Chains A and B, each alone.
Chain A
Amino acid sequence: MPLIKQHISKSIEQDQRKRERDCTSLELQLSDPSSAARRWAARDLISCPEATGALVLQLQQEDDSSVREIILTTLTQLGDELAVASLVGYLRSEDVALRNEAIEAMKLLPDEVAPIMGKLLIDPDPDVRISAVNILESLRHRQVEEWLTKVIEEDPHVNVCATAVDLLGEVGTTSAQEALEKLKTRFPDEPYISFAADLALKRIRST
């Protein structure tokens, strides 16, 4: 029968890594010419909590998307203050892919992102505020409705409010009703806001 066994248990025993796997060596391998070596280094750095800085640095200059994805996965798993701060930094990036990757990564970190969400939602840059609302779309946190309500009550930018009101239509409860009514008066010349607020109110009242 041409189906053969090679006994992987042997290959596991014989799994000699070509490169050193201590934290310092792994950090150096983040700039290896081979993208496979960089991916393996980024993955193995999960055992090195001090490696966040090196990962962040590499992410800024990494142009291979497969390596970037694994660096982001490791940063998300590490989830420390520096990792979260670097993800926040990428929300300002001109690189759309990196910005979206940061949003996706931050959605996976509710406990780490929650303490800074209030600050993100009043960032001077409306694009960052829109990104923050986008994070709320899938952030598993009990304050989501509260944050969204505050956005539609206070944010001066129509696009930020439009993003928030769409989401409130999905997740809002009766406690968001008053803010939704007021929103229509805050942007009387924006027909989309009226339409979206009415739709959200209809959904909330129908359930």
Chain B
Amino acid sequence: MADTTISQEDFLKFREFFYRKTGIHFDDSKRYFVDKRLIERIVATESVTFRSYFVMLRFETSGEELQALTNLMTVNETYFFREEYQFKCLVNTLLPEIITSKKEGQLLRIWSVPSSSGEEAYSIAIYLLEYWPGINHWDVEIISSDIDTKILAQARNGDYSARSVEKLPAYFLEKYFRRKGDAYQISDDLKQAVEFTKVNLMKPEDVRPYRGFDIIFCRNLLIYFDDLSRRTAADTFFDALNPGGFLCLGHSESMSRISSLYQTRKFADSVVYQKSKEAQ
């Protein structure tokens, strides 16, 4: 029978390894959460002890177990205004900096990937309209992409559950949504404001046309990729960005472990990654 005891030393060792591989850090308060999921995988893989599981996790050639564990350790859900601090950073810092190097009349372009069911892209649109005075002077294009055509159809359709919109102030619900029974549908104006497209980030022919972006949001996607795919995505975003453009990752993701192409910028609201202004 498996010995599923996880000592404090095991926890610390696992935490350090998992952080190095995924950028996800668990503080001490998450001990129960981490232990529960580790034990689940120790049992599922029929490992005898934490140590034998950990050795397998580290050196398994396929990386499948690390992926299974990562999926278990991350909560795959999206909702309006998720990680709102980055939207604050967008309107307070990133856009004001971007427009200093733009000529009047030039278009600002934002890419949100993966789109999932559209919450992030529509959140960006709402945030710009509500909190960025520059929206009265600049045209902004928001493109949101995903590999999954079903989820893209859902995003274009714009129907959301009450849970998905629960972080939104009531005023925004009235202004930007139509009530449909227990659900909410995004307004036609916002639907018209976001372009949803299918893209596979790993296919050069798919990503080639995606160029000239000022800001890219790619949050909570890279944690699901293997190391080489992460690096490929980082390379792709680099050439999709304009010089001086910004890349926003999820709160638990860090570019410094993936690629050295970007400069890390620490702002009051968020840490973001920037393509050098001098880069071609």
A residues touching B (Cβ–Cβ < 8 Å)? 1-9, 11-12, 15, 17, 34-36, 39-40, 43-44, 46-47, 65-66, 69-70, 73, 76-77, 107-108, 110-111, 138-142, 144-145, 170-171, 173, 203, 206-207
Contact = CB atoms under 8 A, between A and B. Distances in A.
28 contacts: A2-B140, A3-B125, A3-B129, A3-B141, A3-B142, A3-B193, A6-B141, A8-B209, A9-B197, A11-B209, A12-B197, A34-B280, A35-B279, A65-B260, A69-B259, A69-B260, A73-B235, A77-B232, A110-B61, A111-B61, A140-B60, A140-B62, A140-B63, A144-B59, A171-B54, A171-B55, A171-B59, A207-B50
B135 interface: yes
B59 A173 contact: no
Interface stretch (B6-14, B90-98, B112-120, B246-254): B6-14
Interface of B: 7, 9-10, 13, 49-52, 54-55, 58-63, 107, 125, 128-129, 135-136, 138-143, 189, 192-195, 197, 204, 208-210, 227-228, 231-232, 235-236, 238-239, 259-261, 279-280
Given A1-B129, A73-B228, A140-B60, A7 B204 contact: no
Given A144-B59, A171-B55, 6 more contacts: A4-B193, A7-B195, A66-B238, A69-B261, A76-B231, A77-B232
B219 to A, nearest CB: 20
Given A40-B239, A43-B235, A173-B51, A2 B139 contact: yes
A56 to B, nearest CB: 18
A81 B54 CA distance: 31
Instruction: Identify which of A3, A65, A139, A206 gathers the most chain B CB atoms within 10 Å of its CB.
Output: A3
Nearest to B124: A3
Contact of A4 (B9, B61, B140, B209): B140
Nearest to A34: B280
A206 B7 contact: yes
Q: Count chain B CB atoms within 10 A of each CB in A2, A44, A203 and give the residue with the most.
A: A2
Closest 7 CB pairs of A and B: A3-B193, A207-B51, A15-B209, A36-B280, A12-B209, A35-B280, A140-B61
Contacts of B228: 73, 76-77, 108
B257 to A, nearest CB: 10
Contact of A5 (B195, B204, B259): B195
Contacts of B139: 2-4
A158 B134 CA distance: 62
Instruction: Indicate the member of A1, A44, A69, A107 with the most B CB atoms within 10 Å.
Output: A1
B142 to A, nearest CB: 6
Given A6-B195, A69-B259, A173-B51, A36 B239 contact: yes
A69 B235 contact: yes
Contacts of B194: 3, 5
A1 B189 contact: yes
Given A34-B280, A66-B238, A108-B228, A141 B189 contact: no
B209 A108 contact: no
Contacts of A73: 228, 231-232, 235
